[in-house]
Amino acid sequence: MENGWKKWGFQGNEELNMASALTIRGILTTLMENLNESDDRPPIALGQGDPSVFPCFQTTPVDEDSIVDAVRSAKFNCYAPVVGILPARRSIAEKLSCDLPYNLTPDDIYITVGASHAIEIILTVLARPGANILLPRPGYPFYEARAAVSHLEVRHFDLIPEKGWEVDLDGVEALADDKTVAMVIINPGNPCGNVFTYEHLKKVAETARKLGILVIADEVYSFLVFGSNPFVPMGVFGSITPVITLGSISKRWIVPGWSLGWIATTDPNGILHNTRITECLKSYVNLAADPATITQGAVPHIIERTPEDFFSKIIGMTKEAADTCYDKLEEIPCITCPHKPEGTMFVMVKLNLQILEGINDDTEFCIKLAKEESVIVLPGIAVGLKNWLRISFVVAPSSLEDGLGRIKAFYFRHAKKN
Ligand SMILES: *Cc1c(COP(=O)(O)O)cnc(C)c1O
Whole-number Å distance, alpha carbon 1 to ligand 1 midpoint, is 46
Tell how strand 335-336 and strand 261-266 pair up. Answer: unpaired
In 3-state terms, what secondary structure has residue 108? helix
pLDDT, averaged in runs of 10, over the chain (418 residues): 72 86 84 92 90 87 94 95 96 97 97 97 96 98 95 98 97 97 98 98 98 97 95 98 97 93 96 94 91 97 93 94 96 96 96 96 96 96 96 93 97 91
- Atom 13 (ligand 1): residue with closest C-alpha? 190
Sign of the Cα torsion 206, 207, 210, 211 reads negative
- Residue of 92, 251, 252, 254 with the most ligand 1 atoms within 8 Å of its CB, for mutation: 251
Tell how strand 153-160 and strand 44-45 pair up. Answer: unpaired
Q: What is the rounded distance in angstroms from the CA atom of residue 11 to the CA atom of residue 208?
A: 41
Q: What is the rounded distance in angstroms from the CA atom of residue 325 to the CA atom of residue 399?
A: 11
Q: What is the rounded distance in angstroms from the CA atom of residue 29 to the CA atom of residue 51?
A: 18
Non-local (6+) Cβ contacts of 325 within 8 A are 341, 347, 391, 393, 400, 404
Query: Is the CB of 115 within 6 Å of ligand 1?
Result: yes
Give tens-digit pLDDT for 168-217.
999 999 999 999 999 999 999 999 999 999 999 999 999 999 999 999 99
Contact, 188 vs 342, CB < 8 A? yes
pLDDT at position 3: 66
pLDDT at position 303: 94
Whole-number Å distance, alpha carbon 5 to ligand 1 midpoint, is 39
Contact, 52 vs 254, CB < 8 A? yes
* Fold classified for 61-305: Aspartate Aminotransferase; domain 2 (3.40.640)
- Atom 15 (ligand 1): residue with closest C-alpha? 190
- Residue of 25, 250, 253, 378 with the most ligand 1 atoms within 8 Å of its CB, for mutation: 250
Give the strands of the sheet with 378-379, arranged side by side: 335-336, 346-351, 388-392, 378-379
- CATH 3.40.640.10 location in the chain: 61-305
Q: Running DSSP on this structure, what letter comes out for residue 225?
A: B
Closest of 59, 21, 35 to residue 369, by C-alpha: 35
- CATH 3.90.1150.10 location in the chain: 25-58+309-414
In 3-state terms, what secondary structure has residue 335? strand
* Fold classified for 25-58+309-414: Aspartate Aminotransferase, domain 1 (3.90.1150)
Closest of 256, 186, 237 to residue 216, by C-alpha: 186
- Residue of 48, 116, 143, 245 with the most ligand 1 atoms within 8 Å of its CB, for mutation: 116
In 3-state terms, what secondary structure has residue 112? strand
Query: Is the CB of 190 within 6 Å of ligand 1?
Result: yes
Query: Is the CB of 250 within 6 Å of ligand 1?
Result: yes
Query: Is the CB of 248 within 6 Å of ligand 1?
Result: yes
Number of other residues whose CB lies within 10 A of the CB of residue 268? 15
Give tens-digit pLDDT for 285-298.
999 889 999 999 99
Q: Running DSSP on this structure, what letter comes out for residue 353?
A: G
| Model confidence, pTM | 0.95
Q: What is the rounded distance in angstroms from the CA atom of residue 137 to the CA atom of residue 139?
A: 5
Whole-number Å distance, alpha carbon 387 to ligand 1 midpoint, is 24
pLDDT at position 17: 87
Number of other residues whose CB lies within 10 A of the CB of residue 206? 14
Q: Which helix (H) or strand (E) holds 160?
A: strand 153-160
First to last CA, the chain: 65
Query: Is the CB of 114 within 6 Å of ligand 1?
Result: yes
Q: What is the rounded distance in angstroms from the CA atom of residue 225 to the CA atom of residue 231?
A: 7
